[in-house]
């Protein structure tokens, strides 16, 4: 029985969590409350009894920590994919909120042919770049521990740690026998929410916002003011692939373009603290500047609040493909155990009154997409029709890239990555990013290298996707030569979808017709 008592003393957080959700439930009438509370108590006792039986009679001794983790993960997995339990202070949770973590500042990847993890991308001005690490460098050991056979998650945990701590990293360059040893000091890494912004010409300012972490709205406000001082009279805001983040940052981003006191979003939940209205509180930077917002299927959460609110307020033209459709809001709550729960507490609604949640979670581990037939019609401030329940449908839809599985096989292959590593080694001097381009001979060399290195790749597939692969190769190489911000800059200059959006932004008449279409005249006879 001693083990059982130890178990519940360690895991009292489980009962505390259930009790918290029960106490905070929407006020019910007396009979409903009594029935609900009785059901909660009955099922908690059932769980207690089952675990006690396992602890006493199961053939092997079970780890209370492990079994409880299974139970919690199983329960939360069937609720929705955003409600998560973190048993202790989590680097991942902290990084989601702040964009910060402690480590060496590099992306790593596993290379199957080596059975090792390699540096995929060192970040500018971080311990990795200062240590001289380059993309393609093979990690041999960390503090004397051989990394052969380890997956990227394991190696990542070894590279991360408290800021200020040091470790010895042994690595080798591709196609070289010599090993290099370097002492690396971990630092707090701040991932930039705005990897790149600048004036592209013709008065078009471009800004890529990658996430909604703390301070991103202030950084964006300052970036826009700087671009306006450099001659920007229009803005192309790129939210493609932005997974969201802090709701309040989203409100502040919208505030850059609309006046003070504007309701941007409101939330509705089961408990009264989850019911909130969020209004703009500051003076805007510019309420007249033409704005185009680029989105895609990876645009989610707070990024959808920004794009959807600017659409509802007829403040920007949205261009791209339908967004992810995450209309749920999470709240982070600390537990007495020291753990944390990120729990879905409400749905959010943007100015037209619509909730753009596209996924219906059945709470049994399954989900479905809200069909178009069940989506309701709402209206923007100037009367344009918009729909709920399916993400943000852009004002201008772009054609999705029609690439097949064979393309993604090439793009994700070790051959693609390794060829870029070899190219940089044989072309150590980089031209300015505006002039960088691969030649026909370069692509022929890539085709020969890739098909020889990987028998699953064939020349016909590479030639079929030649234009797209050339762009992807150039962008990967831009990361190697010009760091992450340079790669985004390269994309801003050469991405065909972005160039189409730029042409739209420069077409005043077309922008006006989209935002304020002519009313339909009745045909009376």
What pLDDT, in 10s, does the model give residues 123-134?
999 999 999 999
Q: Which of the following is catalytic: 156, 211, 301, 346?
A: 301
| Exposure of 409 in the CB half-sphere (CA atoms within 13 A) | 12
Task: With a cut of 50, say whether residue 33 has pLDDT above it.
Answer: yes
Q: Which of the following is catalytic: 252, 312, 388, 395?
A: 312
Task: With a cut of 90, say whether residue 86 has pLDDT above it.
Answer: no
Model pLDDT, residue 522: 53
Q: Which of the following is catalytic: 11, 134, 326, 342?
A: 326
Lowest mean pLDDT among 112-116, 172-176, 376-380, 398-402: 398-402
Task: With a cut of 90, say whether residue 397 has pLDDT above it.
Answer: yes
Q: Mean pLDDT across the stretch 333-357? A: 92
DSSP output for 18-62 = HHHHHHTSPP--HHHHHHHHHHHHHHHHHHHHHHHHHHHH-SSPP
Q: For residue 283, indicate whether it is catalytic.
A: no
Q: For residue 495, indicate whether it is catalytic.
A: no
Q: Mean pLDDT across the stretch 504-521? A: 87
Could you count the other beta carbons within 10 Å of the beta carbon of residue 149?
10
Model pLDDT, residue 28: 54
Return the biggest CA–CA distance within the chain. Answer: 89
Task: With a cut of 90, say whether residue 232 has pLDDT above it.
Answer: yes
Could you count the other beta carbons within 10 Å of the beta carbon of residue 509?
7
Q: For residue 301, indicate whether it is catalytic.
A: yes
pLDDT, one tens digit per residue, over 347-370 is 999 999 999 999 988 877 778 888
Task: With a cut of 50, say whether residue 2 has pLDDT above it.
Answer: no
Model pLDDT, residue 521: 55
> What sign does the CA torsion over 423, 424, 425, 431 have?
positive
Model pLDDT, residue 99: 72
- Crossing angle of helices 12-23 and 64-77, in 10° steps, is 30
Task: With a cut of 80, say whether residue 241 has pLDDT above it.
Answer: yes
Model pLDDT, residue 89: 66
Model pLDDT, residue 519: 66
Which residues 6+ apart lie within 8 Å of 296 measured at CB?
240, 241, 320, 321, 323
């Amino acid at each position: 029985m001693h083990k059982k008592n130890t178990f519940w003393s360690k895991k009292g957080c489980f009962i505390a969590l259930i009790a918290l959700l029960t106490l905070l439930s929407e006020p019910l009438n007396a009979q409903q409350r009594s029935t609900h509370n009785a059901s909660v108590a009955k099922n908690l006792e059932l769980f207690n009894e089952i675990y006690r039986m396992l602890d006493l009679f199961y053939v092997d001794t079970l780890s209370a920590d492990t079994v409880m983790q299974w139970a919690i993960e199983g329960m939360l997995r069937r609720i929705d994919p955003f409600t998560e339990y973190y048993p202790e202070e989590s680097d991942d949770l902290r990084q989601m909120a702040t964009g910060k973590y402690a480590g060496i500042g590099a992306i790593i990847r596993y290379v199957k042919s080596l059975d090792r993890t390699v540096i995929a991308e060192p970040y500018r001005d971080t311990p990795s770049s200062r240590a001289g690490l380059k993309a393609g460098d093979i990690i041999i050991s960390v503090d004397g521990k051989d990394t052969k056979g380890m997956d990227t998650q394991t190696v990542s945990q070894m590279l991360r740690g408290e800021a200020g701590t040091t470790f010895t990293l042994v690595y080798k360059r591709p196609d070289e026998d010599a090993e290099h040893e370097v002492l690396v000091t971990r630092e707090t890494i701040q991932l930039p929410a705005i990897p790149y912004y600048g004036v592209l010409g013709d008065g078009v300012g471009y800004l890529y916002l990658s996430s909604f972490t703390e301070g991103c709205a202030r950084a964006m406000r300052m970036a826009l003011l700087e671009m306006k001082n450099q001659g920007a009279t229009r803005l192309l805001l790129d939210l493609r692939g932005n997974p969201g983040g802090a709701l309040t940052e989203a409100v502040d981003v919208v505030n850059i373009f609309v006046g003070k006191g504007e309701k941007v979003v409101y939330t509705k939940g089961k408990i009264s603290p989850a019911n909130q209205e969020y209004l703009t509180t500051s003076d805007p930077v510019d309420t007249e500047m033409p704005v185009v917002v680029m989105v895609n299927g990876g645009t989610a959460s707070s990024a959808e609040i920004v794009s959807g609110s600017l659409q509802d307020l007829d403040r920007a033209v949205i261009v791209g493909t339908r967004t992810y459709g995450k209309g749920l809001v999470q709240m982070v709550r600390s537990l007495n155990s020291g753990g944390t729960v990120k729990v879905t507490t409400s749905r959010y609604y943007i100015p037209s009154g619509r909730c753009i949640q596209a996924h219906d979670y059945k709470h049994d581990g399954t989900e479905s997409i809200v069909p178009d037939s069940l989506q309701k019609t709402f209206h923007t401030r100037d009367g344009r029709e918009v729909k709920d329940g399916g993400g943000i449908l852009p004002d201008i839809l772009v054609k999705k890239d029609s690439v097949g599985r064979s393309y993604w096989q090439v793009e994700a292959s070790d051959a693609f990555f390794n060829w870029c590593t070899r190219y940089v080694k044989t072309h150590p001097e980089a031209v300015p990013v505006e002039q960088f381009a691969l030649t026909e001979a370069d692509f022929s060399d890539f085709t020969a290298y890739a098909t020889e290195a990987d028998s699953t790749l064939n020349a016909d597939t590479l030639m079929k996707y030649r234009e797209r692969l050339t762009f992807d190769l150039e962008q990967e190489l831009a990361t190697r030569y010009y760091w992450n911000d340079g790669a985004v800059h390269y994309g801003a200059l050469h991405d065909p979808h972005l160039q189409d959006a730029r042409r739209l932004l420069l077409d005043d008449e077309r922008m006006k017709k989209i935002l304020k279409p002519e009313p339909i005249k009745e045909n009376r006879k």
